[in-house]
Structure 1
Amino acid sequence: MHTIHLVILCVYLVLMLGVAFFFLRSGRIGGGDDFMFAGRSLPRPVMIITMLVTWVGSGTIIGGANFAYTYGPLAGMVFFAGTPCGILVLVLIARRIRRASRYTIPELLEARFGTGVRTVAAIVTTVAYLGLVASQFMGGGYVVSLVTPLSPTQGTILVAVVVTVLTVTGGMFSVAYTDFVSGILILFALLVSLPLVFAAVDGPGAYWAALPEHATTFSGGLSGLQLLGYFLPLFLLLLADQNIYQRMTAASDERAARSSTLGMFYTSFLVIVPVVLLASAAAILMPGINGDLSVLGLASQGYLPAVIGGLLLAGAVAFVITTASSFMLSGASNITYDLWVRFAKQEPGDRARLLVQRGAVLGIAVAAFALGLFFPTVLELQMYSYTIYGAAITPVVFAVLFWRRATTAGAAAALLVGALTTIGWELAGTPGDLNGVIVALPAALVALVAVSLVTRAPSPDQVAAAQR
């Protein structure tokens, strides 16, 4: 434990809590819509940074770093390539997404496929987001245990409490502006750390020469299917990520939504490239450690100056807090709008929705902490959660946007087949060391297309409803 690291982390956490309580007392949150979309008034720089750091959480600094540490920089770039590839697709369809915006993805599906599909989608989304929140809590616990005397489990509890307070108090206002502050810290810490770590391995030439042989190959020693199994979950999740769609909805107009998404594309490289290079350099400097701690270990083991190391560790906590708060807020919207509001006996008022959203955040925090106890690594938990969402939800969302022939029965079949195949593959122990997406995505697509083609086509009015 280094005193400077502890001081920097404490200052950061106090700053984040200060932002949250500012918005709690500001009077800007008048009801559920303000809580969820920040009054659709977020400035463009805040939009860009909040979209970026919502996406790059502990799955990047810990799970993705573990992958690059284990398989090398080239395979690491393939792993992360799903992010810029997915963003480019979103840039092309940003106006369409903004035009068809709803509170949640399941609400968008209901406009085309009906209440039953919305309910199933809400359950699938909530289960996936529980896993993603749990992975953030676990990642935060790792970081806190490096900086303080707390154990990883105790650190996880601390992070869960801080994230929950941030989310409950200020909603999207709090989440977006703490994202902005955290994003600046993250980018600075990563970009400053990179040349210092390369100096520790005697420069780029020595770095490449010292990598294990498998780490200098494109695949990192994995088969093509195994590598594809790591690329697809990130790509598919991003294509229909409810968090990103909600931030596009929080933009002032369609043009702002598209330009913010393009800004996310450019800034993503400022995170991905340093993380891959730092993690693979850690394989040279610290062989044999737990890959989850590869980037974090550079700071805690003294390979960086104390202040820079402290900023990097605080940045890792920032990753966790920003992503976890976003997924908690998004999951709470599913519980509130897709389940509670949808089946309430009478239309609830805006204040009542706000209370339910905050209660849902608390419930998600408890359930996510419990779920995290059953997965040994952040990487395993994030791949499982990404796949449930990407294989089940993404095909159906794209059917709404692009395939007029998709039917309610086809959408329901895709949701169920995608989710159940992922869960079954995980319970079977991931045969062949293949991630579940390799079987779950084709199964969901076949179910969507086959069932749609043998059932009655939707009416033109039903198709148009989803675009309004």
Structure 2
Amino acid sequence: MQTTHLVILALYLLVMVGIGLYFSRPSKVRGGEDFLFAGRSLSTPVMIATLLVTWVGSGTIIGGANFAYTHGPIAGMVFFAGTPLGILVLLFAARRIRRAARHTIPELLEARFGTGVRTVAAIVTTVAYIGLVASQFVGGGYVIALITPLTPTQGALLTALVVTVLTVTGGLFSVAYTDFVSAILVLGALVASVPLVLMVIGGPAAYWEGLPEVATTPSGGLSPLQLLGYFLPLFLLLLADQNLYQRLAAAKDERSARTSTLGMLGASFFVFIPVILLATSAAVLMPGINGDESVLRLASEGHVPTLIGGLLLAGAVAFVITTGSSFMLSAASNVAFDLFARFGGDKVGDRGTLVVQRLSIVAIALIAIALGLYFPTVLDLQMYSYTVYGAAITPAVLAVLFWKRATTAGAVAALIVGSAVTIGWELVGAPGGFNGVIVALPAAVIALVAASLLTKAPDPRTLEAAGVD
């Protein structure tokens, strides 16, 4: 534990809590709409920042770093390739998403497929996002345990407290503006750390020669199907991530939504490339450590200057807090708008919806803490949660945007089959060492196409109602 690291972390947390409290004022958050969409007033720089750091949380600097540490830089590039490729698809659809602005992904599905689909999708989304919130808590516990005398479990509880306070106060206002501050911190710390760590190793040539032999191969010791099983969950989640759709819906207009997505694409390379290089450098400098801690221990064990190390650790906490608060806010919107408002909440109004969102955030935090104790690593937890969402929700969402022949029966089939196969695959112990997406995604797509073709084509007026025709 270094005093400088502790001071930097404390200052960062104080700034984050201060921003959250500032935006909790009634003049900023007047109801559930403002809480979720920040008055649809976010500027392009803030939009780019919140899109970026919403996406890159502990799954990047801890889970993704673990993968790169274990399997090497080339396999690490394949793992993270889902981010820029997914953003390119999102860029193509950004204007449609802004035009079809809804509170949640299930609400978007309802406009095309009906109320039943919305309810099922809301449950699936909430379950997946609680898992992703849990992964942020666990990741935060790792970081705080390296900086303070707290244990990882105690650090996870502290992370949960800070994330919950930030989210429950100002909603997207506080989340977006803390994202903006965090993005500056994260990008600066990551980019500055790479050349410093490579100098410690002895330069790029010494770095490559020092890697384990398997880490220099394109597959990193994995079979093509195993490698695909790590690429697909990240890619599929991004294609239909409710967080990102809500951010694009919060943009001032369609042009701003598209520009912000393009900015996110460029900025993403300044995150995942440094993470890969730092994690694999840790494999050279510190072989045999827990891969989850690879990037973090470069900072905590003095492989970078103390100030940069403190900023890197604070940046890791920033990743955790911003992504955790985003997924928490998003899951709460499912409870408030897709479940409560539709089944008995229509008389409470916008202020009542705000109360439900805030209560839901607290409940989600408690469940996520319990779930985080079940999975052994952040990578395990994120792969499971990504797959639940990506295999079940993403095919239905892409059908709304790009396939007019999809029907309600097809959407229901995709949701049920994708979720059931993912959960079942996990329960039987992932046979063959393959992630569940390898079987869950094809099963969901086949179910979607088969059920749609076996049922009557949708009325053209239904397509217009969805707002994406």
**TM-score interval (norm. to shorter):** over 0.9
Q: Deviations over 1:415-463 (max 9, x none)?
A: 0000010000011111111000000000000000111111122111112
SS of match in other structure, 1:25: coil
Q: Does 1:71 align with 2:71?
A: yes
Q: Deviations over 1:352-386 (max 9, x none)?
A: 01100000101110011111110000000000000
Q: Deviations over 1:92-140 (max 9, x none)?
A: 1111111111000000000111111000000000000000000000000
Residue of structure 2 equivalent to 1:464 = 464
Supply the distance in 1 between the matched residues of 2:45 and 2:234 (Cα, whole angstroms): 24
Residue of structure 1 equivalent to 2:279 = 279
Q: Does 1:114 align with 2:130?
A: no
Residue of structure 1 equivalent to 2:389 = 389
Supply the distance in 1 between the matched residues of 2:115 and 2:299 (Cα, whole angstroms): 50
Letter in 2 for 1:348: V
Q: Does 1:332 align with 2:332?
A: yes
Residue of structure 2 equivalent to 1:61 = 61
Q: Deviations over 1:152-204 (max 9, x none)?
A: 00000000000000000010000000000011000010011111100010000
Q: Does 1:241 align with 2:241?
A: yes
Q: How far did residue 467 of structure 1 move?
A: 1.5
SS of match in other structure, 1:303: coil
Residue of structure 2 equivalent to 1:414 = 414
- What aligned pairs does 1:144-293 form with structure 2 within 5 A after superposition? 144-293=144-293
Supply the distance in 2 between the matched residues of 1:315 and 1:345 (Cα, whole angstroms): 39
Residue of structure 2 equivalent to 1:368 = 368
Supply the distance in 1 between the matched residues of 2:114 and 2:237 (Cα, whole angstroms): 23
Residue of structure 2 equivalent to 1:308 = 308
Supply the distance in 1 between the matched residues of 2:426 and 2:94 (Cα, whole angstroms): 33
Does the C-alpha gap of structure 1 residues 345 and 126 become closer, same or farther in structure 2, counting only changes over 3 Å? closer
Letter in 1 for 2:67: F
| Runs of 4+ off more than 6 Å | none
Residue of structure 2 equivalent to 1:357 = 357
Supply the distance in 2 between the matched residues of 1:192 and 1:462 (Cα, whole angstroms): 51
Supply the distance in 1 between the matched residues of 2:92 and 2:312 (Cα, whole angstroms): 34
Q: How far did residue 346 of structure 1 move?
A: 3.7
Q: With structure 2 as the length reference, what TM-score do the two structures score?
A: 0.99
Letter in 1 for 2:16: M
Supply the distance in 2 between the matched residues of 1:457 and 1:299 (Cα, whole angstroms): 57
Q: How far did residue 25 of structure 1 move?
A: 2.8
Supply the distance in 1 between the matched residues of 2:216 and 2:345 (Cα, whole angstroms): 61
Q: Deviations over 1:241-270 (max 9, x none)?
A: 000000000000000000000000000000
Q: How far did residue 394 of structure 1 move?
A: 0.4
Supply the distance in 2 between the matched residues of 1:270 and 1:403 (Cα, whole angstroms): 34
SS of match in other structure, 2:23: helix
Residue of structure 1 equivalent to 2:341 = 341
Supply the distance in 1 between the matched residues of 2:97 and 2:15 (Cα, whole angstroms): 34
Supply the distance in 1 between the matched residues of 2:324 and 2:303 (Cα, whole angstroms): 28
Supply the distance in 2 between the matched residues of 1:262 and 1:406 (Cα, whole angstroms): 29
SS of match in other structure, 1:363: helix
Q: How far did residue 26 of structure 1 move?
A: 6.2
Residue of structure 2 equivalent to 1:423 = 423
Supply the distance in 2 between the matched residues of 1:133 and 1:261 (Cα, whole angstroms): 23
Supply the distance in 1 between the matched residues of 2:211 and 2:74 (Cα, whole angstroms): 11
Supply the distance in 2 between the matched residues of 1:166 and 1:309 (Cα, whole angstroms): 25
Supply the distance in 2 between the matched residues of 1:78 and 1:463 (Cα, whole angstroms): 36
Letter in 2 for 1:336: A
Q: Does 1:8 align with 2:8?
A: yes
Q: How far did residue 51 of structure 1 move?
A: 0.2
Does the C-alpha gap of structure 1 residues 325 and 346 become closer, same or farther in structure 2, counting only changes over 3 Å? closer
Supply the distance in 1 between the matched residues of 2:72 and 2:101 (Cα, whole angstroms): 40
Letter in 2 for 1:282: A
Supply the distance in 2 between the matched residues of 1:348 and 1:405 (Cα, whole angstroms): 37
Q: How far did residue 347 of structure 1 move?
A: 3.5
Q: Does 1:440 align with 2:433?
A: no
Residue of structure 2 equivalent to 1:132 = 132
SS of match in other structure, 1:344: coil
Q: How far did residue 305 of structure 1 move?
A: 1.1
Does the C-alpha gap of structure 1 residues 397 and 353 become closer, same or farther in structure 2, counting only changes over 3 Å? same
Supply the distance in 2 between the matched residues of 1:345 and 1:207 (Cα, whole angstroms): 59
SS of match in other structure, 1:251: coil
Supply the distance in 2 between the matched residues of 1:308 and 1:460 (Cα, whole angstroms): 57
Q: How far did residue 345 of structure 1 move?
A: 6.0
SS of match in other structure, 1:342: coil
Supply the distance in 1 between the matched residues of 2:109 and 2:358 (Cα, whole angstroms): 24
Supply the distance in 1 between the matched residues of 2:55 and 2:23 (Cα, whole angstroms): 23
Q: Does 1:377 align with 2:386?
A: no
Letter in 1 for 2:400: V
Q: Deviations over 1:16-70 (max 9, x none)?
A: 0011111113621111110000000011000001100000000000000000000
Residue of structure 1 equivalent to 2:36 = 36
Letter in 1 for 2:29: I
* Identity between Structure 1 and Structure 2 (%): 72
